[in-house]
Amino acid sequence: MSDKLTKAREYEVKKEAMIPEEQRPLFHLTPRCGWMNDPNGFSKYNGKYHLFYQYYPYETVWGPMHWGHAESKDLITWEYLPCAMAPDGEADNFGCFSGSAIEMEDGRQLLVYTGVRKEEEEDGIVREYQTQCIAIGDGVNYEKYENNPVIGADSLPKGAGKFDFRDPKVWKENGKYYMVVGNKTEDKDGQILQYVSDDGIHWNYDKLVIKNNHRFGVMWECPDYFELDGKQVLLTSPQDMLPEELEFHNGNGTLCVIGELNKDGDFCEENCQAIDYGIDFYAPQTVLADDGRRLMIGWMQNWDTCGIRRDDFPWFGQMSFPREISLHNNKLIQKPAREIADYYGKRISRQNVLISDSASLSSIEGRCIDMTVNVRSSERTLSYNKFEIRFADNGKAYSTIEYDPVENIVKIDRKHSGSRRAIVHQRRCKVANNKGEITLRLILDRYSMELFINDGEQVMSMGVFTDVKAEGISFKANGEVLMDVTMHELEKK
């Protein structure tokens, strides 16, 4: 074990012991200490879910990337394991960037990641070189392959850029290992490349999976590629996007491309959509559960919103709640992992409540809840033009969810949540025209809100860093609505 890894492991144990449990979310994974970004190596190994993550243990800002590590039996309660990797190799001395994990034929766990090193070019400019590397271990300790990198610039196809080449996602199929990797071409366009291996160690270029053709952003990061409900799905996170109506927003976004494989095994796209329509969601990664469900977790943050933080917290960044994903009518459906029901506490239900102005309901409050609100007109014709849920409210700070049934738009807004920064505080999305009826399911967990619209047709996520004592929830309508509310308090078991 290198001195860098030993130091990181010793530091995180000491630092974690100093963080009060109540200063973290109840269920969303945060870094053991310091900084967290992309999920890495979301996988099953030895009967448990493993989740690695981009990690800088020493400060709550991005630094030389390590791999943090946690495991879970049920996707919800996570236990920290020792830091898995530090930037201590010749091929990764500037950082161990994002990647994935899989169990090998001999029972060991294979980590596939992007190693980053810096070199000075002939023109005197220092540039990053990104190559694909591996490490192999037993679920706790990992040894980097002595001949890293296993995929270098010499394995790139013509026109591929050698500086932005990262985030390998590995899987096994028909007795072989496959990997997709994000790349930015020499003419600054995103594309996803596929590689193949017989043993997970020696890799060869296979083919181009998809090219952006300058449609969605520039570099395509963090790809995931899998079969789902008879279709082929690619998830990726484009950088530097331009907005398109309310489907895609400026900056760093998420993209789900749905299609089919033709007789030659080539990907033919049929539909493109955003994955999450909120403020904070990036770099999702999936795993196939033993029962056949495809589960997804993302970084519930965004590079454009890193200024929204609690400066008094010894951690930064959290993962989303795990989501079950499926397809319906060639569109992505996302629902909270059903394991959440195992953590339900007190149940409170109110049916056919008439809201004509602003109202609070007895016992409907909290910051660790799973709440479903069904809203509909009180008459046959549309009886209202706006509905609002206000939460994390202490009379001064609050956040809101608004629904406009005329324009069919849902908006999330945290500008009054206590932030002193003029960063992204609002996001809107277009929803189905259901004649004023909508179902809004909120997962609140101390420092986050995830909104599942119409049984998972769309999701909007955001961090909320208002003091956890702000537990108020209220409802407001311009006009009249009928509302059903079912709320479960969430509790650690």
Whether pLDDT at 310 is above 90? no
pLDDT for position 217 = 95
Whether pLDDT at 280 is above 90? yes
Q: Identify which of 92, 109, 452, 414 has the alpha carbon closest to the alpha carbon of residue 276.
A: 452
Active site residue 38: yes
Chain Cα centroid distance, residue 220 = 15
Mean pLDDT of the chain: 96
Buried (b) or exposed (e) across 253-290, using 16+ Cβ within 10 A? bbbbbbbeeeeeeebeeeebbbbbbbbbbbbbbbbeee
pLDDT for position 312 = 87
Question: What is the rounded end-to-end Cα distance, in angstroms, of the chain?
Answer: 36
Q: What is the pTM of this model?
A: 0.96
pLDDT for 45-82, tens place per residue?
Answer: 999 999 999 999 999 999 999 999 999 999 999 999 99
Instruction: Give yes or no for a contact between 402 and 386, defined as CB atoms under 8 angstroms apart.
Output: yes
pLDDT for 53-63, tens place per residue?
Answer: 999 999 999 99
Average pLDDT over residues 199-213: 97
Measured torsion, CA atoms of residues 458, 268, 154, 98, in degrees rounded to the nearest 10: 10
pLDDT for position 390 = 98
Beta bridge partners of 418: none
Whether pLDDT at 323 is above 90? yes
pLDDT for 438-474, tens place per residue?
Answer: 999 999 999 999 999 999 999 999 999 999 999 999 9
Options 3, 38, 187, 199, the catalytic residue: 38
Whether pLDDT at 119 is above 90? no
Strands 34-45 and 315-316: parallel
pLDDT for 13-34, tens place per residue?
Answer: 999 999 999 899 999 999 999 9
Instruction: Give yes or no for a contact between 148 and 159, defined as CB atoms under 8 angstroms apart.
Output: no
Percent of the chain clearing pLDDT 70 (strictly above):
100
The structural domains of the chain, ordered by start, are 3-336 (2.115.10.20), 343-490 (2.60.120.560)
